[in-house]
Every structure is written in structure tokens, then in C-alpha cells.
């Protein structure tokens, strides 16, 4: 783009895999426009300094001209949430005297990044983005994740870095620190005071002080001081807590290229360093990939799941383990990666060697750093209420402008001086636009958070509580969430001679010892920690059923210095039997369980002189596909279906004898894809996974509330279907259609097969049609209704879903709308499904145990992790209630908080308009409300109502109708409009009736006095006192989202006291009160009775509007002209309205 232009240019999109994409716009400083901006700030007495402080991107646009990124010195970043961020581009001179040479930069980034001796970059949300001169774009600074092949770790990095190389990398990547800035109190104070809310309050207090409202101003200053102090305390405490949580100060043993081993502070390690892990374990302070030895790791900080995980060395060849990644990737190779913040419990090493790992990420680039960044820079809630609130404040500001003009006209005509008129005009602005509104909207969330905490549900993101009230679909993990975490072994069914034998309920007495017993005793990730066997519950049940014993070969703190790290032994009773079975087996190598691969395996060796043996355990379908066909029983699928349809968890076992010439050292170089093939199928492990007793009632409660429920599990699809029927996700009179997708890469052709699963025995029938999909023409859509007109639920596994996602995007939305059972889903697929549902305008909740569903829990609008921890970075909500009964609780509290926020908003809006009308009427006679009148209504009435209104507890059941999420909807607009009209009419009526009284004498205004003490002001104020209470009662929401108002005892006491005080001031005001409030004594009890009658009429009319008019659907349709215009529906609603049938199977 031509330099000097100020026209709009196209931005450059930066998309870095898991990170949200954003767009960069380049800007270069313009000296004339900069000086003009400074002059503007001076001429407006600093107002534009505030504006530029609130909107930094406006300052850039004002002082700079747009240009290409390569010429820019500042950039504006627009993220996917349409927020603007300003970053400065830094330029470092690289020469012979620099700490890092251009050659090193070229080696690290794999291309030239230095142009004319200058290296350009910018920092955004704690991440560094480097300029790529060739592509003319910025790219996120990466260390060894992504571009480094697996073999490079062994060929180039396993010996470590030299001191010089480490220093150069430290210059590029920075220190290995996650720095949380705890800002000084003074800085926090200035930032808090410069908040637009407090700036407006400062403006209001200045106006009131000039108008001699000292007492009221003092009260507001005191309240603001308390509010600011609490805010500073909370902010400071959160920052301190987060800093203490991430702070670490340990020594790390690092290997240098020279062969020496040195200890350095953790902040000094850099990507490429080789660290030595101590045998007694340690806390990881960086992300590192394991090269030698095994590690037992507790990853509860990342996942919320405290079951130990085994980490094994990285395979030498890229793309192994069934993965297609061109190089090392922390996501694909997480079973070989030690993540920052996780606790290494034990290390296992062989032959006296060290357990070594190469550092791949440091600082904020680590897994822990990413979690901290998600806390520092949270995803904004797409909640229309906040946007509507800002628009509504703008509407109130328009009323203030009208009042501003009216005030000028009235007081100028009477001849008041300009100073007095200015004070009255500014006073109107502070009345019409309530400064307390933003704070009032958070009260409901605060109370809801406290109630959730009392029930064992903790929330680290209070803004999400209101969002919980809008959920219309909830996804559930199965194992550990819908069903019990533990499994009971029902039996083993062995394969022999091409068929299955009878199921054995016990294997401890089998003789001789067969492969199935050895597989059960060795194919697991269990470890002995503090003298107890610990690990995955399924592995533990399987191992216990084998009856064998696990023993390390040496002491726990110093093992594993022998060739065989772990030995399992048959029990003494078995050893006494004169059998030829295996009695002692050593586990030499382990390929850990992978959710993506759906299997794990171990390589073992009998302590007798026999060849090594491979044992594998995993998904029956996958294990069968890796086995030799002649060893898989012909009735394999039928037998598997017979178990899974009854809800059993089924695992398959297989084995393979390895080459007798295979040595231990060659074994360590093997990749799993080299050995996990041509297996001998051994049999099936049948385990019962009981459904939690709370599951069915909760699912029924959600379904009755018209909240859709979805199962997202890694288990077998027929098992998932069975659980879905048992828990009530699929009704007895509803159909399940299984969707299977096939894809032929050579022919570029795929087909979708729709197969009905009957409701009684979950048997397969062919009542549905299969669709052949043309890759070039994606017009075929799934037909979602059977011709029996019964409701249909789709069931699909992860493999088929991936084919649909890649090749049939047009079908995916219908699958997401009708799908209830998603089985064999990987963690990434779970997260993608949540995002697909969100794209269809669903409000998505996710409930899981935090193990394999962290991504989905984070992606959902409301993620609930079932964990014993009080706070988990895996999800916004953490429940100590270890079942899904926490889900309705969160939804109920979310709805209660949401309707409280709306009720509070309507009350504050009406309170402001009532006071605005009162002041306008007083201005008509050149009078004004007194200081104590304002103080009574603002503090004694408004503040106490705000504090106590939100204490109403959530209703005991979930209503079918969801609360509204928008302010600008017909019911709310109609309610506010009618209520403002009623309050205005009642005040005007009293004002008119007052003038007809025989004892009434009009006030004669004085230009030197405020003219407060008069019958006009007193009468209008007495009416407004009752009106505040009426609005508080009318706008306090109850059933069906909150308990009735009379159950909020403190609120009832507060309203009772306010009403009693109002009656006292109306009928028998003490002389001292009349003097304080500057009342003009009303001599007529008849007129006081008229005031009470008008107030009672006001209450009847206001209640009638809320109870009958606003809730009348016919009236709302008429007012909104709904019948004359097309209603805008959510995307999922439009898909659900598609009325087609699955067609005739013929």
C-alpha cells in the first residue's frame, strides 16, 4: 500500500494451529496527525487522553497511517471475538557484537529472519511473533514442537548444547519463566479509578459537591472507596495466588555437549537442553520429550485426573504409532512428553543409564504456560445481555439529553444565572444514567457462586454462571461420569480353533498358565507407589483378577538399574501346581495406552530362557484388525455385539512371539508399528460398568426441561447405545439409526450406511437406506425421520465422523442436530463436536471426569469437571459431587443468576426513570429534591434492594421455557415502557391533584435559593418512595427460575422496613425528619389518603402489567408484529424443521 494513505487496508491473517486466529493491520506513525492528537487532548482538558486510554486502537488510527506490515512500527490485532489489541513492533539490530548471530537465527527458524541487520518481532498475549521476510507475515515463535523430526532428537540433540549455544538460545527464547505481574497498589488504584464507571462517578460527585450535596456525595465516596478497596484486594489476591501457583525455583541437572553434567537454575534452561530426571522424581519446569527410560507422572494439574500415567521414550522415526505427523508434536506424542507443571513420581532406567529428556518448550509456550495464558486472557462470553445493557445505557442517555434541554429552557425562562443552570443540567445526567448499574448486574452471579461453593461446586470464571442459564444441550462422557469409574471383571472368553469357548468367570485356577493370564498380569501401566499398586482402575481390576503379584526388581527409590525393571509372579498356590505354565515374567518395554490408537502393549520375557513375547490389549475391533484372520473367531462380531448391547465393557487380548534373535538393545529401538501386527488373537475380557444411580433421574430431569442430552465416549458404540437407552437419553418408543461412513481414497468415493438398531434387543435391522456420496457434488443430506414418524437418534463412531467431517461437511450439521451417541471419540474429536454444536447456535454444556475431555470442557460454554480439586484449569467448573447431579444444580443457579441480573437491570432502570420524572416535575416549579431525599432513595432504598434481591435461591426444578438472554425483546421493552408510563402518570396525577386542594399555596421561587421546601416537592417525593418499593416487588423474579420472594427473608425484612418508613413519613413524620428532608408539612389527612390511593392504584396497575399483559402471548405477537415478519431462528432450529423421511427401503 502506498505510504501516507489513511485508507482501509486488508489485514494479514495469522493462524497458529490450536491458537485462535487473528488478523494484523500495519500502521506507521504520522508526525502531523500525532501533534494534532496531542492538541486535541489539551483542548479537551484531558478527555481524549481518557478516550485513548480506554480505546488504544483509536489512538493508533488517529496518529498513524495504514501501511504494509513490512513498513509498520505498530499493529492493530483483531481477534476472532472482534476485539482490537495494539502491539508495537520491536526491531533488534543483529551484528557481530550481538549475543545471537544471524546464522543462529537462521538455524533456529529454518529460514532468514534478519533483513539488513534487523530482526523484527512483536509480543502478543505473552507469545512472541517473528517477521518472515519471504512470506511477509508474522509467525509464532516455536521451539522444537512442529518442525523437528523425531530422529533429530537422537541424532543432533541427545548430547545436549554447549554453553554458547545455550546462551544464544536464551537470547532468542528468553528465560524459562512464567512471570505473573503483580501490579503495585498505586498502579491498580489508578487503573481502577480510570474505569469508565468510576470516571462517571467522579463526575457525578463533582456535580453534587458543587451543588452542596455534601452528605450524599460523602456517602457515595465512601461506598466507592469500599468498592474500589474490595476490587483492589480481590485483583491483588488473584494475581498473588496465580503468581504463587506458578512460581518455582529449583535446580535442574543439564548435560552439556562436552559431556559434563551441571546444575543450573530452572530459568536458565532453553529448548534443546538435555535434562536428567532424578530417580525420586521431580516437578517439571518445562515441556520435555523423553529419550531414555520411563517415567511415572501425575498429570492432575493438566487434566484433573490423578491416576498416574506412564511416559515412554520418543520413537526414532516420525509418523510411528499410527500417526501421520511429519515431525514431533506434543499433541501427537503426548505419551512421550513430560509437560510443565506435572509431577514426575518415579523414573525407571536401565543398565545404570540416566533418564534423559530434551527440552522442547519453555516459559509461556509450555503446557502450563498455555493454561496460565488462558486464565490471564480468557475467552469472552458471547452474551448479548452485556451488549444490550450498553445500548440501553445509551437510551437512558438520550432521556438525559432531553432532560438537559428541558432544564435549560425552564431555568433560562425564569432568569436563573448560568452557573445554577449548569449545575441543574449536569445533575440531570447523573440521575438519568445510573452509575450503579454495572455493579448491580454482577450481584446475582456473586450469590450464585457462593451457593455453588456451598454445594461443592467451584467456579474459576464467574462470568460463565449466567451462561449456564442458557444451556440447551449437555454432552456427557460415559465412563466415570454416567457410569461408575470402577469396573468389575465378569469373565474371560478365550478364542481357540476359530471359535469362542465358554466364558470363564475366574482364571486364577487355570493350569497351565495361558497367554490370557500373562496378558492380564503384564499388559497394564500399574506401578508401585509407596508400597501400593496404583494406576488406571481398569488395569487394576484386570491385574487383581489374574491373581499375580507385581514386584520391582530393587528398592523403590533407586530402581530400576537392572535390565528388567518390573517382574510379575504367579501366586504361590499356582507355583505349587505341577504345571508347565509361566511363573515369572519380566516387563521389558511398554507402549502406553493411546486414546487415538485405542490400545496399549508390552514386550515381556519369561525368566526362563524363552523368546520375548508381545501382549496387546485394546478395542476389540482394532485388536482383531491387527490379528491374523485365522486366529479371530468367525463369530467375533456377533459375540462382541451380544456383550456390548447389554452394556458390558469389552477389551480384546492378543499376543505375538518375537524373533528369538532380538536383543535387549535392539528392543529399545523398536517402534510399536513394527511389532503390533500379525498378532494371535487370544480372547475377550468382559467387564461390567454399572450406571451410577443418579444418572437416570438427572437425564430425565434435563429431558423434561427440553435440554438435549448427548453422550460422547471413547467406548464401543453398542455399549454406548445400551447405556443411552438405560439412562433415558433414548426413549423406549424412539429409534436409533447407526451411521457408518466408508471412504475409498483411490476412487474418491464414499458411502453413508444408515442402519436401524431396534429398541428391544439392540439388534441390527436394515430398515434404512444407504447413501452413495459423490465427492464432487455434496447435495445429499441425511433424511432424519423414519416413515413411522418416530423420533430418531443418530449413533456414530469417531472413525465415521472423521470421514464425514473431512469429505461431507454438508451432512455434519444434521448429524450434530440428530446425533445422541458419539462413540470411539478421541479427545480432539470431543472438542471438535462441542465446537460444531456451538456453530449451530447451541449453548453447550460438557460434563466429564477431566481425563480425556479437557479440550471439550474448555471449549464448552459451561464445562464441569468431576474432580476432588477445588479448582481445575481443565474447566470453568469443578464439582466434588462425583456424579452428574451437579449439572442440574449449575443450570438452576445459572438461570437464577440470569433472571436476577435482568430483574436488577429493570429495577435500576425504573428507579432511575422514577427519580428522573420526580426531578423533572420539581424543575417545572423551579424546585429540586433535597440532599437527604436523594440519600434516602439512593442508599436506604436502592442499595439495600440491590444487596438483598439477589439472595433468592434457585427454584427446585428446571422449567421447559428458558429465560431470555436479551434485553431488547418485546416482553422487556413492553414492561419497561408501560411501567415508566404508569409511574409518570401517578406522579403527575398527585401533582395535579395537589393544585386543586383548598389549602394549597403555590411556591414562589427565589433566584437566590434552591426552593426545596414546598408542597410540590414533598408530595412528589412521597409518591416516589412507594414507587421504588413497588418496582422492587414487581421486578423480583420468582417461579419458575427462583424461589418465591417470601422465601428471601432478609429481603422481606428490608422491604417491610422501607414500607414502614414510607408510611411513617407520609402520615406521622417526626419534626426532626421533616427538617432533615426539608418537607413542607401536609396539613390534610384526606390528601395523604389520596396519595395512598394513588400508590395502591400504581401497585395494582404495575402488578397487572407484569402478571397478565407482559406474559400474554397474543398481545406480545400483536405488539411485536410477529405474524407479519419472519422470525429469526437458530441454525439448529432450522435444521430440525426439515421435514423429510428416510424413504422406503425398497
> Is residue 477 annotated as a catalytic residue, yes or no?
yes
Task: Characterize the bridge pairing of strands 599-606 and 584-594.
Answer: antiparallel
For residue 34, give every residue at least 6 positions away whose Cβ sits within 8 Å of its Cβ, in sequence order, or none. Answer: 63
* Alpha-carbon gap, residue 1065 to 1042, rounded angstroms: 33
For residue 130, the cross-strand partners are 121, 139
How far is Cα 568 from Cα 834, in angstroms, rounded to an integer?
43
Of 321, 477, 762, 853, which residue is the catalytic one?
Answer: 477
322: left (phi over 0), alpha (psi -120 to 50) or beta: left
Q: Report H helices in 1010-1048.
A: 1015-1034
Q: Are strands 527-529 and 532-534 parallel, antiparallel or unpaired?
A: antiparallel
How would DSSP label each residue in 713-763? -SS-HHHHHHHHHHHTSS-TT-EEEEEEEEEETTTTEEEEEEEEE-TTT--
Sign of the C-alpha dihedral, residues 370, 382, 885, 853?
negative
Would you say 583 and 558 are in contact if contact means Cβ atoms under 8 Å apart?
A: no
HEC per residue, 591-630:
EEEECCCCEEEEEEEECCCCCCEEEEEECHHHHHHHECHH
Render 762-800 in DSSP notation, one character per residue: --EE--S-EEEEETTB---------TT---EEEEEEHHH
CA gap 190, 803 in Å, rounded:
55
Of residues 90, 24, 87, 32, the one with CA closest to residue 60: 87
Considering only CA atoms, give the Rg of the chain. 36
- Mode of pairing for the β-strands spanning 473-476 and 844-848: parallel
Could you give the C-alpha distances from 40 to 27, 56, 62, 74, in angstroms and in order? 21, 15, 11, 21
Number of H helices, E strands in the chain: 39, 43
Return the C-alpha cell found at 1113.
402471548
Backbone angles phi, psi at 287, to 5 degrees: -90, 130
Cβ neighbours of residue 614 closer than 8 Å, sequence gap 6 or more: 601, 602, 603, 604, 655, 656, 657, 658, 675, 676, 679
Cα separation values, 564 from 220, 481, 527, 1038, Å: 74, 37, 14, 68
In sequence order, what are the beta bridge partners of 475? 710, 846
| Cβ-based neighbours of 717, under 8 Å, separated by 6 or more | 644, 738, 795, 796, 797, 821, 823, 824
DSSP 477: -
Closest CA to 294 of 694, 591, 643: 591
Strand order through the sheet with 261-265 = 261-265, 251-255, 274-276, 356-361, 287-290, 337-338
DSSP annotation of 148 reads S
693-703 residues labelled b (16+ CB within 10 A) or e (exposed): ebbeebbebbe
* Spatial separation of the C-alpha atoms in residues 344 and 346, rounded to whole Å: 6
Cell 513394527 belongs to residue: 674
| Contact status, residue 685 vs residue 651, Cβ threshold 8 Å | yes
CA atoms within 13 A on the CB side of 426: 18
Q: Which residue is associated with the grid cell 490389549?
A: 617
Q: 898 near 469, Cβ under 8 Å?
A: yes
- Cell reading at 132: 518472515
Eight-class DSSP state of 334: G
Separation CA 253–CA 664 (nearest Å): 28
Catalytically annotated residues = 477
Amino acid at each position: 500500500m502506498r505510504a501516507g494513505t489513511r485508507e482501509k487496508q486488508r489485514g494479514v491473517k495469522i493462524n497458529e494451529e490450536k491458537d485462535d486466529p487473528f488478523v494484523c493491520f500495519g500502521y506507521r506513525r504520522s508526525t502531523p496527525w500525532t501533534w494534532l492528537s496531542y492538541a486535541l487532548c489539551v483542548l479537551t482538558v484531558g478527555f481524549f487522553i481518557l478516550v485513548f486510554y480506554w480505546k488504544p486502537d483509536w489512538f493508533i488510527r488517529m496518529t498513524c497511517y495504514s501501511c504494509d506490515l513490512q513498513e509498520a512500527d505498530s499493529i492493530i490485532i483483531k481477534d476472532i471475538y472482534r476485539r482490537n489489541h495494539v502491539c508495537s513492533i520491536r526491531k533488534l539490530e543483529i551484528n557481530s557484537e550481538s549475543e545471537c548471530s544471524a546464522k543462529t537465527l537462521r538455524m533456529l527458524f529454518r529460514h532468514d529472519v534478519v533483513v539488513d541487520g534487523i530482526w523484527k518481532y512483536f509480543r502478543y498475549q505473552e507469545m512472541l511473533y517473528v517477521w518472515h521476510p519471504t512470506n511477509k507475515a508474522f509467525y509464532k515463535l516455536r521451539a522444537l514442537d512442529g518442525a523437528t523430526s523425531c530422529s533429530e532428537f537422537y541424532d543432533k540433540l541427545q548430547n545436549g548444547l554447549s554453553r554458547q549455544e545455550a546462551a544464544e538460545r536464551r537470547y532468542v527464547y528468553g528465560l524459562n519463566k512464567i512471570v505473573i505481574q503483580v501490579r503495585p497498589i498505586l498502579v491498580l488504584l489508578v487503573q481502577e479509578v480510570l474505569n469508565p464507571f468510576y470516571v462517571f462517578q467522579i463526575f457525578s460527585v463533582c456535580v453534587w459537591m458543587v451543588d452542596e450535596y455534601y452528605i450524599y456525595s460523602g456517602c457515595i465516596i465512601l461506598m466507592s472507596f469500599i468498592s474500589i478497596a474490595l476490587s483492589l484486594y480481590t485483583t491483588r489476591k488473584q494475581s498473588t495466588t496465580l503468581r504463587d501457583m506458578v512460581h518455582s525455583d529449583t535446580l535442574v541437572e543439564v548435560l552439556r555437549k562436552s559431556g559434563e553434567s551441571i546444575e543450573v537454575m530452572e530459568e536458565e534452561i532453553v529448548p534443546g537442553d538435555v535434562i536428567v530426571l532424578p530417580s525420586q522424581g521431580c516437578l517439571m519446569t518445562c515441556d520435555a520429550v523423553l529419550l531414555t527410560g520411563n517415567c511415572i507422572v501425575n498429570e492432575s494439574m493438566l487434566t484433573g485426573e490423578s491416576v498416574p500415567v506412564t511416559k515412554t521414550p520418543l520413537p526414532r522415526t516420525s509418523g510411528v504409532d499410527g500417526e501421520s505427523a511429519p515431525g514431533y508434536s506434543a499433541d501427537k506424542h503426548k505419551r512421550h512428553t513430560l509437560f510443565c507443571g506435572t509431577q514426575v513420581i518415579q523414573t525407571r532406567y536401565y543398565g545404570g543409564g540416566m533418564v534423559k529428556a530434551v527440552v522442547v518448550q519453555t516459559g509461556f509456550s509450555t503446557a502450563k504456560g498455555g493454561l496460565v495464558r488462558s486464565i490471564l486472557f480468557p475467552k469472552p462470553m458471547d452474551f448479548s445481555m452485556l451488549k444490550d445493557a450498553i445500548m440501553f445505557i445509551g437510551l437512558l442517555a438520550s432521556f438525559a439529553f432531553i432532560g438537559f434541554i428541558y432544564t435549560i429552557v425552564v431555568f433560562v425562562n425564569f432568569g436563573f444565572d448560568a452557573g445554577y443552570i449548569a449545575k441543574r443540567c449536569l445533575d440531570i445526567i447523573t440521575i438519568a444514567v445510573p452509575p450503579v448499574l454495572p455493579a448491580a448486574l454482577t450481584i446475582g452471579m456473586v450469590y450464585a457462586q457462593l451457593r455453588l461453593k456451598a454445594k461443592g461446586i467451584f467456579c474459576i470464571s464467574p462470568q460463565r454462571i449466567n451462561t449456564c442459564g442458557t444451556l440447551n444441550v449437555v454432552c456427557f462422557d460415559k465412563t466415570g461420569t454416567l457410569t461408575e469409574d470402577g469396573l468389575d471383571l465378569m469373565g474371560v472368553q478365550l478364542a481357540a480353533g476359530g471359535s469362542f469357548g465358554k466364558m470363564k468367570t475366574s482364571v486364577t485356577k487355570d493350569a497351565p498358565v495361558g497367554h490370557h493370564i500373562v496378558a492380564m498380569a503384564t499388559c497394564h501401566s500399574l506401578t508401585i507407589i509407596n508400597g501400593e499398586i496404583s494406576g488406571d482402575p481398569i488395569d487394576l481390576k484386570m491385574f487383581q483378577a489374574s491373581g499375580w503379584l507385581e514386584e520391582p526388581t530393587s528398592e523403590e527409590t533407586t530402581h530400576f538399574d537392572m535390565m528388567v525393571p518390573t517382574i510379575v509372579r504367579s501366586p504361590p498356590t499356582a507355583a505349587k501346581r505341577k504345571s508347565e505354565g509361566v511363573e515369572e515374567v519380566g516387563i521389558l518395554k511398554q507402549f502406553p495406552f493411546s486414546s487415538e490408537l485405542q490400545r496399549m502393549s508390552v514386550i515381556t520375557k519369561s525368566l526362563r530362557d524363552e523368546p520375548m513375547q508381545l501382549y496387546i490389549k485394546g478395542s476389540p475391533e482394532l485388536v482383531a484388525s491387527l490379528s491374523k484372520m485365522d486366529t479371530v473367531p468367525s463369530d467375533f462380531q456377533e459375540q462382541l455385539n451380544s456383550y456390548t448391547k447389554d452394556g458390558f465393557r469389552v477389551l480384546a487380548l492378543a499376543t505375538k512371539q518375537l524373533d528369538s534373535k532380538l536383543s535387549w538393545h535392539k528392543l529399545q529401538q523398536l517402534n510399536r508399528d513394527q511389532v503390533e501386527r500379525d498378532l494371535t488373537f487370544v480372547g475377550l475380557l468382559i467387564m461390567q460398568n454399572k450406571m451410577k444411580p443418579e444418572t437416570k433421574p438427572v437425564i430425565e430431569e434435563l429431558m423434561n426441561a427440553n435440554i438435549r442430552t448427548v453422550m460422547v465416549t471413547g467406548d464401543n458404540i453398542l455399549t454406548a447405545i445400551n447405556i443411552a437407552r438405560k439412562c433415558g437419553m433414548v426413549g423406549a418408543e424412539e429409534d436409533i439409526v447407526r451411521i457408518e461412513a466408508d471412504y475409498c481414497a483411490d476412487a474418491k468415493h464414499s458411502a453413508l450406511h444408515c442402519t436401524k438398531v431396534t429398541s428391544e434387543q439392540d439388534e441390527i435391522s436394515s430398515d434404512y437406506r444407504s447413501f452413495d456420496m459423490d465427492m464432487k457434488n455434496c447435495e445429499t443430506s441425511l433424511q432424519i425421520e423414519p416413515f413411522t414418524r418416530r423420533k430418531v437418534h443418530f449413533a456414530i463412531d469417531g472413525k465415521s465422523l472423521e470421514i464425514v467431517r473431512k469429505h461431507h461437511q454438508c451432512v455434519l450439521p444434521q448429524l450434530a442436530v440428530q446425533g445422541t451417541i458419539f462413540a470411539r471419540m478421541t479427545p480432539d474429536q470431543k472438542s471438535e463436536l462441542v465446537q460444531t454444536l456451538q456453530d449451530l447456535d447451541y449453548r453447550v454444556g460438557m460434563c466429564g471426569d477431566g481425563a480425556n475431555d479437557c479440550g471439550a470442557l474448555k471449549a464448552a460454554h459451561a464445562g464441569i469437571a468431576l474432580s476432588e480439586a477445588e479448582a481445575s484449569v481443565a474447566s470453568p467448573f469443578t464439582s466434588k459431587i462425583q456424579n452428574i447431579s451437579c449439572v442440574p444444580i449449575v443450570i438452576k443457579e445459572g438461570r437464577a443468576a440470569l433472571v436476577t441480573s435482568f430483574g436488577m437491570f429493570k429495577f435500576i432502570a425504573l428507579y432511575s426513570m422514577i427519580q428522573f420524572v420526580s426531578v423533572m416535575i420539581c424543575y417545572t416549579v423551579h424546585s429540586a429534591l433535597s440532599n437527604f431525599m436523594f440519600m434516602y432513595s439512593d442508599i436506604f432504598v436502592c442499595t439495600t434492594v440491590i444487596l438483598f434481591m439477589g439472595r433468592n435461591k434457585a427454584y427446585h426444578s428446571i422449567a421447559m421455557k428458558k429465560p431470555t438472554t436479551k434485553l431488547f425483546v418485546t416482553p422487556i421493552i413492553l414492561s419497561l415502557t408501560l411501567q415508566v408510563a404508569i409511574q409518570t402518570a401517578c406522579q403527575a396525577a398527585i401533582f395535579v391533584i395537589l393544585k386543586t386542594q383548598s389549602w394549597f399555596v403555590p411556591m414562589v421561587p427565589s433566584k437566590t435559593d434552591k426552593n426545596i421546601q414546598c408542597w410540590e416537592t414533598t408530595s412528589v417525593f412521597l409518591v416516589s418512595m412507594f414507587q421504588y418499593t413497588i418496582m422492587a416487588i414487581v421486578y423480583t423474579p420468582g417461579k419458575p427460575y427462583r424461589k418465591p420472594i417470601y422465601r428471601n427473608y432478609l429481603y422481606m425484612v428490608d422491604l417491610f422496613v422501607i414500607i414502614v418508613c414510607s408510611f411513617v413519613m407520609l402520615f406521622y413524620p417526626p419534626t426532626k425528619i421533616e427538617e432533615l428532608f426539608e418537607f413542607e408539612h401536609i396539613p390534610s389527612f384526606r390528601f395523604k389518603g389520596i396519595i395512598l390511593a394513588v400508590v395502591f392504584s400504581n401497585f395494582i396497575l404495575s402488578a397487572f402489567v407484569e402478571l397478565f399483559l407482559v406474559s400474554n402471548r397474543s398481545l406480545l405477537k400483536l405488539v411485536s408484529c410477529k405474524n407479519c415478519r419472519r422470525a429469526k431462528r437458530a441454525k439448529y432450529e432450522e435444521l430440525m424443521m426439515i421435514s423429510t423421511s428416510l424413504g422406503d427401503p425398497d
